[in-house]
């Protein structure tokens, strides 16, 4: 039985972090994109990461950052993985000494195999709906756009929620799922019961 990995993204409060870890999240996402309502400063992120236990991966999300900003964050926050969610080139994502995920903004016509091939050193490809503001929009995309095999671990995101995640995992069989809006009561404010229900939905699909 495969265990689909779960990332809960956009945490801003200690209580939400504890809820995600207790529910069984494999990874926690911290958003370093200032326009996002889920943005956390490096200082705040460093405080939050003190609550993350061993074997739970801390992922830093960036959108077309200046390299200097990523480096500044890394001096303060013990990130273990980076997630690039804009239109960054592969070269812009490399060189920070950490594995990274590249987000593909899914819309009709995208050649995902070609997209993945243009990021050969990405540890995985994350699929999200094409939304204004780059991500965290709570919108799903047409899962039929996903080809059978990307030759890389694939992370499914975009509008996942406790209601649809079981169906999504059964249909797409991703390596991992990533959620933000679907486990929130307001932007940047997570709901412990929704997080627990989301994790349960994934486990139900895993069988
Ligand atoms: O969470 C954000 O605010 C965010 C901002 C900019 C880029 C990406 C962002 N979040 C990521 O978006 C996807 C989908 O989120 P949702 O579940 O549909 O709300 C997810 O990978 C988040 O990590």
**CATH number, domain at 31?**
3.20.20.70
Cβ of 5 below 6 Å from ligand 1: no
The per-residue pLDDT for 121 is 96
* Per-residue confidence (pLDDT) for residue 196, from 0 to 100: 98
167 assigned to active site: no
| Euclidean distance between CA atoms 53 and 179, whole angstroms | 20
Strand bridging mode 81-84 / 57-62? parallel
pLDDT computed for residue 135 by the predictor: 79
pLDDT digits (tens, 9 = 90+) for 41-93: 999 999 999 999 999 999 999 999 999 999 999 999 999 999 999 999 999 99
Report the number of distinct structural domains present in the chain. Answer: 1
Ligand 1 atom closest to residue 126's alpha carbon, by position in its atom list: 21
Catalytic-labelled residue, pool 9, 16, 93, 178: 9
Provide the residue-wise pLDDT of the chain in tens; the chain has 207 residues.
Answer: 789 999 999 999 999 999 999 999 999 999 999 999 999 999 999 999 999 999 999 999 999 999 999 999 999 999 999 999 999 999 999 999 999 999 999 988 889 999 999 999 999 999 999 988 787 789 999 999 898 788 899 999 999 999 999 999 999 999 999 999 999 999 999 999 999 999 999 999 998
Query: Which of 12, 61, 83, 143 most suits a substitution to test ligand 1, by most atoms within 8 Å of the C-beta?
Result: 61
Dig out the tokens for 144 from the structure. 């039929």
List the alpha helices (DSSP H) in 30-142: 42-49, 67-76, 90-93, 112-117
Q: How far is the CA of 135 from the centre of ligand 1 (A)?
A: 4
The whole-angstrom separation of Cα 2 and Cα 36 is: 33
Tell me the ipTM for this assembly.
0.98
Q: What is the pLDDT of residue 133?
A: 74
* Angle 192-31-55 from CA coordinates, rounded to 5°: 65
Among 9, 40, 125, 188, residue to substitute to test ligand 1 (most atoms within 8 Å of Cβ): 9
The pick from 58, 157, 198 for probing ligand 1's pocket by mutation, whose C-beta has the most ligand atoms within 8 angstroms, reads 157
Range of the domain at 47: 5-206
Instruction: Classify each residue of 79-88 as buried b or exposed e, where b means 16 or more C-beta atoms within 10 Å of its C-beta.
Output: bebbbbbeeb
Question: How many Å apart are CA 141 and CA 96, to the nearest integer?
Answer: 31
What confidence score (pLDDT) does residue 113 get? 92
Cβ of 81 closer than 6 Å to ligand 1, yes or no, is: no
Name the catalytic one among 16, 26, 128, 178.
128
Nearest atom (ligand 1) to Cα of 138: 18
């Amino acid at each position: 039985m495969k265990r689909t990995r779960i990332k809960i993204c956009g945490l801003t409060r200690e209580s939400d972090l504890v809820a995600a870890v207790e529910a069984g999240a494999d990874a926690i996402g911290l958003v370093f994109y200032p326009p996002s309502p889920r943005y956390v400063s490096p200082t705040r992120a460093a405080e939050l990461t003190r609550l993350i236990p061993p074997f739970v991966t801390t992922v830093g999300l960036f959108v077309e950052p200046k390299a200097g900003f990523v480096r500044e964050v890394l001096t303060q926050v013990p990130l273990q993985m980076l997630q690039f969610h804009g239109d960054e080139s592969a070269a812009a994502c490399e060189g920070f000494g950490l594995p990274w995920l590249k987000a593909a903004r899914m819309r009709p016509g995208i050649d995902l195999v070609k997209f993945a091939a243009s990021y050969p050193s990405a540890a995985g490809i994350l699929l999200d709906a094409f939304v204004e503001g780059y991500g965290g929009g709570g919108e799903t995309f047409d899962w039929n756009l996903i080809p059978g095999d990307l030759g890389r671990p694939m992370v499914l995101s975009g509008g996942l929620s406790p209601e649809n995640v079981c169906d999504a995992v059964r249909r797409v069989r991703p390596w991992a799922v990533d959620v933000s809006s679907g486990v929130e009561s307001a932007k940047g404010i997570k709901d412990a019961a929704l997080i627990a229900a989301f994790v349960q939905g994934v486990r139900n699909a895993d069988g």
